[in-house]
Amino acid sequence: MTEETKVQANEQAAAESADTVDMNEVSTVKKGDIVTGTVVKVEDNQVYVDIGYKYDGVITARELSSVPLDNISDVVQLGQEVTCKVIGINDAKETLTLSKKQVEGEKAWDKMQEYLDNNETIEAKVVDVVKGGLVVDVGVRGFIPASMVERHFVEDFSDYKGRTLKLKVKEIDRPNNKLILSQKDVLEEQYQAQKQQIMERLNVGDVIEGTVQRLTQFGAFVDVGGVDGLVHISELSYQHVEKPSDVVKEGDKVKVKILKLDPANERISLSVKAAQPGPWEQAGGQFQIGDIIQGTVRRLVDFGAFVEVAPGVEGLVHVSQIAHRRIGTPHEVLKEGQQVNVKVLDINVGEKRISLSIKETEEAPEQPQRQERPERAPRQPKVDIPDAQSLNLTLGERFGDKLSKFK
């Protein structure tokens, strides 16, 4: 026998010896033992495993995984080696019940505690979407509450099933089989790590593209390359905006201008309207002196009315230009929201000023005819009475007859 043949013979003998030991050990199998075997048959609701015992063991679908299964073949395949726990044995009926779930669960709990203690990240596949969150299989059933899935609000989680997520262990309650996980914590760590670097690359005045992430009553948060900036509701449009959803929706791509950077407080102020041509810039080529256009009365003041002639462009109709007749206040003729025709009297784009007139778009009313005055009687010619001096009369000559009475 050659040396090589001897080696092969020794290896075969050792293998047979090992098999004999395993068989002997398995022959005394009892409840609670951890055994290893090979899957020899896969059915719809259970699998058969050869552990070297006188009959095969059975793992039901419930004991295969800690989460409900759509298909057993997703977990085990024919010929696969599995480690199981003996949870029931009856030689009289030749039944051997095994659990793969319990073996994996015990190891998983220890592993989850280790991940929690070390703040490590794990990966897990979403196996189910339930009310309030997502279910993953990490050897035990893990639950991700809806509030811990993303950094932003998600209304519908139906498309998350089948996704593989990076998670942090948030809470472990082993006696109650409760494991809480979070993807939001992982995303938040990534966000904070990138935020400072990104902010250092941004400059006030830059016009960049972003994606609307979420809407609030006071504005919209826009992702500008990995960090979120706020577009206040007053910066969404040159027109008055009642609510942000009237202008944008989540997922919209928008151009924004950086108004302010505050790295210390990690804040970015953005503007959608400042990234667009202003209404006054457009008005310069849109309106000419003498044009008659339609507008909407927006405000009434004592000295006139402000009329919007284009989104974000208001002109003044002075009180003297409202009507052909004299009026005390604009309220006598106009009301807010009223549609009116106006004539452009003057325009100054640089100073954002347009002078308008309502009365010059209307024909002046005819003036009432004047009534003829009655003819006056001809004036009598004035007769000048000469005074005494002009007649060279002496006092005696003028009043002599009267003075003679006193003689």
pLDDT digits 0-9 by tens, 165-185: 999 999 999 999 899 999 999
Looking at the DSSP bridge assignments, the partners of residue 316 are: 306, 355
Residues 6+ away with beta carbon under 8 Å from 381? none
pLDDT at 381: 58
Rounded Cα gap, residues 127 and 162, in angstroms: 6
DSSP character for 376?
A: P
Rounded Cα gap, residues 212 and 233, in angstroms: 13
**pLDDT of residue 310 exceeding 50:** yes
Quick: pLDDT tens for 186-229: 999 988 888 878 888 899 999 999 999 999 999 999 999 888 99
Cβ burial, residue 3 (10 Å; 0-12/13-18/19+): exposed
pLDDT at 47: 93
* Segments making up each domain of the chain, as ranges: 29-101, 119-187, 202-275, 279-361
Please state the CATH superfamily assignment of the domain spanning residues 202-275 in this structure: Nucleic acid-binding proteins (2.40.50.140)
**pLDDT of residue 124 exceeding 80:** yes
- For the chain, what percent of residues have pLDDT higher than 90? 55
pLDDT at 15: 41
**pLDDT of residue 22 exceeding 80:** no
Query: 6: pLDDT confidence band, cut at 50, 70 and 90?
Result: very low
Query: 383: pLDDT confidence band, cut at 50, 70 and 90?
Result: low
Q: Which residues of 189-207 are buried (b: 16+ CB within 10 A; e: fewer)?
A: eebeeebeeebeebeeeee
Query: 9: pLDDT confidence band, cut at 50, 70 and 90?
Result: very low
Q: What is the mean pLDDT of the chain?
A: 84
pLDDT at 98: 95
Q: Do domains 202-275 and 279-361 have the same CATH topology?
A: yes
Q: What mean pLDDT is predicted for residues 89-102?
A: 90
* Annotation: CATH topology of 119-187: OB fold (Dihydrolipoamide Acetyltransferase, E2P) (2.40.50)
Rounded Cα gap, residues 56 and 38, in angstroms: 10
**pLDDT of residue 368 exceeding 60:** yes
Q: What mean pLDDT is predicted for residues 360-365?
A: 86
Question: Could you tell me the end-to-end alpha-carbon distance of the chain, in angstroms, rounded to an integer?
Answer: 205
Which amino acid appears at position 26 of this protein? V
**pLDDT of residue 244 exceeding 90:** yes
In angstroms, how far is CA 229 from the centroid of its own chain?
A: 10
Query: 149: pLDDT confidence band, cut at 50, 70 and 90?
Result: very high
Query: 24: pLDDT confidence band, cut at 50, 70 and 90?
Result: very low
**pLDDT of residue 13 exceeding 50:** no
pLDDT at 27: 57
Please state the CATH superfamily assignment of the domain spanning residues 279-361 in this structure: Nucleic acid-binding proteins (2.40.50.140)
Rounded Cα gap, residues 54 and 28, in angstroms: 11
Per mean pLDDT, which range of 167-181, 308-322, 390-404 is the poorest? 390-404
Rounded Cα gap, residues 157 and 164, in angstroms: 14
Global confidence as pTM: 0.46
Q: What mean pLDDT is predicted for residues 24-50?
A: 84
> What class does CATH assign to 29-101?
mainly beta
**pLDDT of residue 26 exceeding 80:** no
Rounded Cα gap, residues 227 and 215, in angstroms: 15
Rounded Cα gap, residues 355 and 367, in angstroms: 27
**pLDDT of residue 83 exceeding 50:** yes
Number of H helices, E strands in the chain: 5, 20
Rounded Cα gap, residues 361 and 340, in angstroms: 10
- For the chain, what percent of residues have pLDDT higher than 70? 83
pLDDT at 153: 87
Q: What mean pLDDT is predicted for residues 279-303?
A: 88
Instruction: Looking at mean pLDDT, say which of 6-15, 39-48, 186-195, 282-291 comes out highest.
Output: 39-48
